[in-house]
Structure 1
Amino acid sequence: MCGIIGYVGNNNCVPYIIDGLKKLEYRGYDSAGLAVLQNGNLVTVRAVGKVAELEKATLIANPKGTTGIGHTRWATHGKPSEENSHPHTDCTGDIVVVHNGIIENYLTLRAKLEARGHRFKSETDTEVIAHLIEENLLHVRASHDQDRLLKAVQKTNKEISGAYAYGVMWARTPGLLIGVKKQSPMVVGVGKDENFLASDVPAFLKHTNKVLFLEEGDVAVLHVDGVTVLDKDGKEKKVKPVKISWDQKTAEKGGYAHFMLKEIYDQPQAIEDTLRTARTDFGKILGLDTDGLRQLRNIHIIACGTAYHAGLVGKYYIEQLAGIPVSVDLASEYKYRTVPQLPNTLAIAISQSGETADTIGAVKKAKELGFRTLAICNVLGSSLTRTCDSTFFTHCGPEISVASTKAFTSQITSMYALAAFLGQANGNLSQTAFEKLYKELLALSKDMGEAVKLEYEVRHLTRKIYKADRFIFLGRNVNFPIALEGALKLKEVSYRSAEGFAAGEIKHGPISIIDKGTPVIVLMPHDALFEKMLSACQECRARGAFVVAVTTKAGAKMAADVADQVFIVPQTNELLQPVLDVVPLQFLAYWIAKRLGCDIDQPRNLAKSVTVE
């Protein structure tokens, strides 16, 4: 969740660090800080709250230097405070460390270090790293200080356990920055006479689009004129820079009030870009020939949050189009439940960031059980993509808002393409049926372009309902997961109570919480279950609910007879309809949150990438 940005170059590093931290604000944080090597001394500035507070404090302190590191902290050990903010130092104040993740054995290490005379100034697990490096510098030998620091870091890595990424500076090694990665995101930006260390690409994308993706256990040594990468055994390795196609504008708001709104409007292009790579042989992606695909007998989908809802939609797709049984698990549950070790099983992990700790842990369990693994992910070089056997990339560009929108619809699109290709390969779909389905899929981007035109109507409606305390979302069949997603989106950004239900279940309990004025949003495209959804609307309206129907043109007239408001989305086939139906729900969440004055892009208590369990 935390953010790291480090700079080594010929310019004053402070503007680079402040700007990089602002680009990482989407990750969620409660404090921020930076350290700069100035005239042989480390100058540290920290502040509780937003990066803007750190920026003010930095203007007062006015540190200047060509090597520095910054951090945004999400509290895991110790309350949000200036003392617990990063960077953290050793006893001498000559070593500074910033860190993402959790050091699981920090209490044991802290006790040992305190017994040796080390004095801690914070409640964090991170400070242990700084003191360990200080201690290890006393026991390693090297011909010069830069190599000595590297050896101390490598020794420290063998003593700490957990999932972490950290950066370190030493006052005695100007022009040197060291980064370490283990199960937490860390990348290196390669520039001209300057290099960057960061937890995510947007932190330095303004300055370079050449990125080194670090592997598990890698140590990166950054100088002005180059970067050396060592593997977990200390051996130098060649890492080829990856050129990121995103430009800086893609990672900015583009004139919209919030990233969330921009990313809702990004969806037609995101789907089109994702489909460019979907026009391929999924057998090659999975590393399976036609016989291998035909032998698949079980599919496990594992994900968290919004990605989990995409997985639920994918279950409908795969079972109908490919005829393969599918189970969908929350990754945090899959890791700890008993999973039968059935042969010919494919585990599909869905994640926007590819850094979600629970999802990565669940994939590792699936691999231990002998299952083939596939990632559906948006981030090239992420931990999940390197853990799985193969990857299908959703090409959404950076998704900055914590509340996922374009990644969600691209994930659903990917699941549909996968299901269709599996069905074609195993004979569940004829070639004619496959071509028809795929033709409809290729038209989806155009339909999404029409769906986003609903913003004005949704915005107008929210004036009537935004003050409600409770919201209900109803759907059936493939739209049931969309009801869950609509409720989650509203909870995330507006902090209002919202629940999603299968419409057929409301008589089994949920109808008791519907009373006069309760907004009930009903997903009811004109399909085989349309008449049953009409009945659900009538039941809710009879109890005083304010019913909002999301339907297609063919169902609009009948829906208007049982609803207070009707939104008409474009019509596509029944399976693809949820991709369009979710759009008014995204706008609904956005505009209710905006009218309530909420922090839309960075909701309280939430972070974009949950990189700790």
Structure 2
Amino acid sequence: MCGIIGYVGAKNSVPFLIEGLKKLEYRGYDSAGLAVIEKDGVRRIRAVGKVAELEKAALLAHPQGCCGIGHTRWATHGKPSEENSHPHTDCSGEIVVVHNGIIENFLALKEKLLTLGHKFQSETDTEVIAHLIEENLKHVRAATDEERLFRAVMRTSNELQGAFAYGVLWSHTPQQIIGVKNQSPLVVGIGKGETFLASDVPAFLKYTNKALFLEDGQTVVLTPQSAQVYGMDGKEAKVKPTKISWDQKTAEKGGYAHFMLKEIYDQPQALEDTLRTARADFARILGLKTEDLRKIKKVYLVACGTAYHAALVGKYYLENFAGVTASVDLASEFKYRTIPPSKDTLCIAISQSGETADTLGAVKKAKDLGFKRLAICNVLGSGLTRACNSVFYTHCGPEISVASTKAFTSQIVSLYALAIFLGHASGNISQSVFNKLYKELMAVPKAVAETLNIEYDVRHLTRKVYKAPRFIFLGRNVDFPIALEGALKLKEISYSCAEGFAAGEIKHGPISVIDKGTPVVVLMPKNHLFDKMLSACQECRARGAFVVAVTTPDGKAEAATVTDKQIVVPQASEYLQPVLDVVALQFFAYWVAKRLGRDIDQPRNLAKSVTVE
């Protein structure tokens, strides 16, 4: 999410900043801004909307300075507005900060700074960084201003909690930019007599292909002639430059062939960022009191497309952990069917964009029925977030590919978090059970990172099946919605005929479409339904199907006796296994589509956000 660009050299920095921000527009944003150090101090320009609006404002203001930073903002704290746009400053206006990520302890830091007399101008978590550096500058001593700023930034970073990357300017050091990386991307471009700081390579690739990729916990000090990297201990770290061989278009995708593939690989970080929110008091996040959570007896989940499949998974979570009756509706159907009024009812609306017309219509109906409304959404300030009483944000950053991947898995973990917190609040699950479930949930990002290692196996497998006219996906229990999602993903980007079924249903009709060579992908982790899935495999194989098992290490050997190919994913708890299983199906859809030569990121007839009925 967001985009950072910094320049220090011999030329006016503004054209470099504007051009760099344009190269980062693919990341998604709602506002943009820049700041440069002029002879009389810092000059800051910000605008809501596209970089073109910022460019117009900069042409009118005509700032001049050889050291500057810019930013495109994807709102996480505070609505999209000029006041909340980056860069942010301290009380004096001499320190300027741009930042990506989330400062988890910003409220505590802000309260501390307010008591010290600091005055804030925005709703963002970022602004605390500028004020904290200002405060720390009062307490560090050094021979030069450059060294003072470095020490103040190091002290500041040690006080911050969360995932962040930020860049700093100070009017007293007009030939220096400092950058800090911690779990958010930050890269340095090394030119001739000029140096760049950016969140991604495309921002400076036109001017240099020599890059330093920072590691977590590292701080970099940029001048026109150098980029010195330091570890958390303050000691200089030797980082070898990398020569970038990508072209501009490939660079925007981080070296991946398509945004979809990049976003599959983004999932561990997207899940980690989303779950940070679940580490605080959940009732406070949702804007609901604990006693209100206890009163909820019925839940309606409404969504469309991929989000609908996440809702189907959420139904299992809510009924199992929270002990509430849950009903799942396609938003387009919910709007027009008769819904009996009921007390103590919560409507959960799920949408990546928050602008899906059918989902907005369903929420309006829920409001008319007097239901409480919760949005699970990725875009702050969207129509859905404004139409609901409370919001749980998935922190995925922009999802560029039409086919949703990281938003889907983030929606699933959000629903899991909601279900266990509801269950704990209502007394349906004990403290010890909650602690166990919570620990398992927090381990998911690492497990998904391990699951990404299966890409080669899936890629190799698709060579055998990509030309098939029909594909079948089977799952049971909480993996049944994942079978539906696997079929949808394949249809979306390969244009192949694909269907998902509950495995127990194939003998009630669907088995008639299985004939010799039909690829059947069976989700069968080693759990209490494993034997049932073995039987389903045998039934399909008896009709000549090419059967592929997505299983776990303990199930591979047995699955091999009734399937033609096995894809092995890590073992997770029963209700979190779908988050890992779906990664295999995302890779499967991607590689079938790639072998067929499809337009993967922008498949025919589809739009990322469906804003009409």
Cα distance in 2, alignment partners of residues 22 and 578 from structure 1: 29
1:405 equivalent in structure 2: 405
- Structure 2 CA distance for aligned equivalents of residues 510 and 543 of structure 1: 12
Partners of 1:273 and 1:395 within 8 A in 2:
yes
Q: Distance in 2 between matches of 1:412 and 1:563?
A: 29
1:179 equivalent in structure 2: none
Residue among 186, 200, 208 paired with 1:249: 200
Partners of 2:431 and 2:327 in 1: CA distance: 27
Tell me the CA shift for residue 211 of structure 1.
6.9
Deviation at 1:399, TM superposition (A): 1.1
Structure 1 residues 243 and 611: alpha-carbon distance in aligned structure 2, compared to 1, 3 A threshold: farther
Letter in 2 for 1:536: A
Tell me how far apart the structure 2 counterparts of residues 518 and 203 of structure 1 sit (CA, whole Å).
Answer: 54
Which residue does 2:463 correspond to in 1?
463
Residue 480 (structure 1) shift: 0.3
Distance 1:23 1:212, change over 3 A: closer
The alignment partner of 1:209 has SS state of strand
Query: How many Å separate the matches in 2 of 1:320 and 1:241?
Result: 38
Specify the alignment match of 2:194 in structure 1: none
Q: For the structure 1 residues 250 and 299, does the alpha-carbon distance in structure 2 shift closer, same or farther, using more than 3 Å as the test?
A: farther
C-alpha separation between the residues in 1 aligned to 2:598 and 2:17? 33
SS at match of 1:584: helix
Q: Is the 8 A contact 2:27 2:398 kept in 1?
A: no
Aligned in 2, Cα 1:520/1:408: closer, same or farther, shift over 3 Å? same
Within 5 Å, which residues of 2 pair with 1:423-502?
Answer: 423-502=423-502
| Cα distance change, pair 610–19 in 1 and its aligned pair in 2 (3 A) | farther
* 1:279, distance to aligned residue in structure 2 (A): 1.3
Distance 1:450 1:203 in 2: 41
Task: Give the structure 2 partner of residue 180 of structure 1.
Answer: none
Give the 5 Å matches for 1:124-523.
Answer: 187-191=30-34, 198=49, 208-210=71-73, 249=200, 252-523=252-523
Provide the aligned C-alpha RMSD in A: 3.4
- C-alpha displacement at 1:189, in angstroms? 3.6
Summarize deviations over 1:186-231 as a string: whole Å, max 9, x none: 9444556766564899999x95335789x99x999xxxxxxxxxxx
| Residue type of the alignment partner of 1:607 | A
In the other structure, the counterpart of 1:561 is 561
Match of 2:149 in 1: none
* TM-aligned CA distance change 1:587 to 1:391, over 3 Å: same
Distance in 1 between residues matched to 2:54 and 2:473, nearest whole Å: 37
8 Å CA contact retained: 2:74, 2:397: no
Name the aligned partner's letter for residue 72 of structure 2. N
- Equivalenced residue count is 427
1:609 corresponds in structure 2 to: 609
Q: Is the 8 A contact 1:549 1:565 kept in 2?
A: yes
1:160 aligns with: none
| Structure 1 unpaired stretches of 5+ | 1-9, 25-185, 221-238
C-alpha displacement of 1:514:
0.3
- 3-state DSSP class of the match of 2:598? coil
Query: What's the TM-score, normalizing by structure 1?
Result: 0.64
Shift of 1:443: 1.2
Note closer, same or farther for the CA distance 1:469–1:416 as it changes in structure 2 (3 Å cut): same
Partner in structure 1 of residue 545 of structure 2: 545
How far 1:431 moved relative to its partner? Answer: 0.8
Q: For the residues of structure 1 that align with 2:125 and 2:287, how far apart are their CA atoms?
A: 25
Q: Offset at 1:15?
A: 7.5
Q: Partners in 1 of 2:377 and 2:285 — Cα distance?
A: 13
In structure 2, the CA distance between the partners of 1:195 and 1:555, relative to structure 1 (3 Å rule), is: same
The AA in structure 2 aligned to 1:323 is G
Q: Go from structure 1 to structure 2 and tell me whether the alpha carbon gap of 1:451 and 1:22 turns closer, same or farther (over 3 Å shift).
A: closer
Task: Name the CA distance, whole Å, in 2 between partners of 1:203 and 1:492.
Answer: 36
Q: Quick one: which amino acid aligns to residue 249 of structure 1?
A: D
Matched letter for residue 382 of structure 1: S
One-letter amino acid of the counterpart of residue 261, structure 1: L
How many Å separate the matches in 2 of 1:531 and 1:202?
A: 61
Taking the aligned partners of 1:265 and 1:202, their CA distance within structure 2 comes to 32
The answer on whether the counterparts of 1:250 and 1:397 sit within 8 Å (CA) in structure 2 is no
- The Cα offsets for residues 10-64 of structure 1, whole Å up to 9 and x where unpaired, read as 989998998688778xxxxxxxxxxxxxxxxxxxxxxxxxxxxxxxxxxxxxxxx
Give, in whole Å, the separation in 1 of the partners of 2:31 and 2:419. 36
Partners of 2:363 and 2:388 within 8 A in 1: yes
Superposed CA offset, 1:513-537 (max 9, x none): 0000000000011111111100000
Report deviation, 1:544: 0.4
User: Which residue matches 1:163?
Assistant: none
Distance 1:18 1:485 in 2: 34
Answer yes or no: is the 8 Å Cα contact 2:22–2:51 preserved in 1: no
What is the CA deviation profile of residues 313-341 of structure 1, one whole-angstrom value per residue up to 9, with x for unaligned ones? Answer: 00000100111000111111111111111
Q: Distance in 2 between matches of 1:292 and 1:14?
A: 48
The Cα shift of 1:351 comes to: 1.0
Q: State how far apart, in whole Å, the 1-side matches of 2:267 and 2:358 are.
A: 27
CA distance in 1, matches of 2:535, 2:586: 25
CA deviation string 1:407-450 (max 9, x = no partner): 11111011111111111111110111111111111111111111
Paired residues of 1:440 and 1:573 also in contact (CA < 8 A) = yes
**TM-score, normalized by length of structure 2?**
0.64
What secondary structure, in the 3-state scheme, does the structure 2 residue paired with 1:208 have? Answer: strand
Give percent identity, aligned residues only.
65
Q: Is the 8 A contact 2:31 2:72 kept in 1?
A: no
Alpha-carbon distance in structure 2 between the residues aligned to 1:275 and 1:394: 8
Decide whether aligned partners of structure 1 residues 506 and 449 sit closer, same or farther in structure 2, where only a CA change above 3 A counts.
same
Contact 2:480–2:501 (Cα < 8 Å) also in 1: yes
1:541-564 residue CA offsets vs partner (Å, 9 max, x unmatched) = 000000000111111111000000
- Matching residue's letter, 2:537: C
SS of corresponding position for 2:327 = strand
CA distance, structure 2, for counterparts of residue 20 and residue 455 of structure 1: 27
- Whole-Å separation in 1 of the counterparts to 2:599 and 2:584: 20
Q: Distance in 1 between matches of 2:125 and 2:282?
A: 25
Q: Specify which structure has the bigger relative contact order, considering alpha-carbon pairs within 8 angstroms and separated by 6 or more residues.
A: 1
